């Protein structure tokens, strides 16, 4: 766990041992008890594994103002070179490409468990380096664990209410209230993560805009009128009867 924290901080910036310990204490309060007796052996192990590289930096010499005289300039020159020979630089640590890969491996392996409070907070501090689905899974597993823990705590308080004095009962109540606040905090993180994932998804195919004034409904078919029957061929008209035929 300490190696993961060291690699995560060196991934952001090159640091020397004192500054690295200060950052561990300041940014990751869970590591406030880390001593130099555990920090430097961890750095040595990472350096042996090729994950970290130590570089000696020359000591900084304060600027010496010009005196305007030859003897003063000579004295300033000797002072600067004497400080450079006798001073001791700080060893600065930087992460290597192997360290980058090791950091990703450790972070991905640790995300499978959310039972330890310190480990969860450490992984959450570097969650920006995880894929979106892994970040969401980390938060959801932690929430499920706290929900189960809250149910057990409430059951214990109900079962032992008659046997617990007011002070012990207040401790149980404080624990359940803290767990409830943590669950609400995780709910906000989960909601924000899901919103961010929805926004980052590529948009689907868009429909082409319809020109103004153009209707998408089909034009009505023209009315059908009955067709005029074609003239049929008729036989020649019979001659009108004559008057003779009428009287016969």
Tell me: do 32 and 89 sit in the same domain: yes
For residue 103, being part of any structural domain is answered with yes
Tell me: do 124 and 141 sit in the same domain: no
Q: Give the C-alpha separation, 228 to 243, whole Å.
A: 41
Task: Report the CATH number that the domain containing residue 95 is assigned in CATH.
Answer: 1.10.10.10
For residue 226, being part of any structural domain is answered with no
Q: Give the C-alpha separation, 161 to 35, whole Å.
A: 43
For each of the chain's 248 residues, which pLDDT tens digit applies? 889 999 999 998 899 888 898 888 876 665 556 788 888 999 999 999 999 999 876 655 555 555 555 565 566 656 565 544 545 557 899 999 999 999 999 988 855 555 678 788 888 889 999 999 999 999 999 999 999 999 988 887 777 777 778 888 888 888 899 999 999 999 999 999 999 988 887 776 666 666 665 555 555 555 555 555 555 554 555 555 555 554 54
Domain with 122, as residue range(s), is: 1-65+81-129
For residue 220, being part of any structural domain is answered with no
For residue 185, being part of any structural domain is answered with yes
**Total of domains in the chain:** 2
> Cα dist. 103→2, 47, 99, 124 in Å?
11, 14, 6, 14
């Amino acid at each position: 766990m300490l190696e993961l924290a060291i690699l995560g901080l060196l991934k952001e910036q090159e640091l020397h041992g004192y500054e690295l310990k200060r950052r561990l204490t300041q940014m990751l309060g869970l590591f406030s008890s880390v001593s130099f007796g555990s920090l430097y052996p961890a750095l040595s192990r990472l350096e042996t594994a090729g994950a970290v590289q130590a570089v000696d930096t020359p000591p900084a010499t304060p600027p010496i103002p010009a005196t305007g005289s030859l003897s003063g300039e000579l004295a300033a020159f000797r002072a600067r070179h004497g400080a450079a020979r006798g001073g001791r630089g700080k060893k600065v640590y930087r992460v290597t490409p192997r360290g980058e890969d090791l950091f990703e491996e450790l972070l991905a392996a640790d995300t499978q468990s959310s039972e330890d409070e310190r480990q969860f907070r450490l992984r959450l501090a570097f969650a920006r380096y995880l894929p979106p689905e892994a970040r969401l899974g980390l938060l959801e597993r932690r929430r499920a664990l706290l929900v189960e823990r809250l149910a057990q705590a409430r059951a214990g308080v109900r079962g032992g209410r008659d046997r617990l004095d007011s002070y012990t009962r207040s401790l149980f109540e404080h624990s359940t209230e803290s767990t409830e606040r943590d669950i609400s905090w995780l709910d906000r993180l989960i909601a924000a993560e899901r919103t961010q994932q929805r926004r980052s998804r590529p948009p689907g195919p868009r429909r082409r805009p319809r020109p103004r004034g153009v209707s998408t409904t089909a034009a009505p078919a023209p009315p059908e009128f009955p067709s005029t029957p074609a003239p049929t061929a008729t036989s020649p008209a019979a001659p009108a009867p004559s008057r003779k035929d009428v009287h016969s």
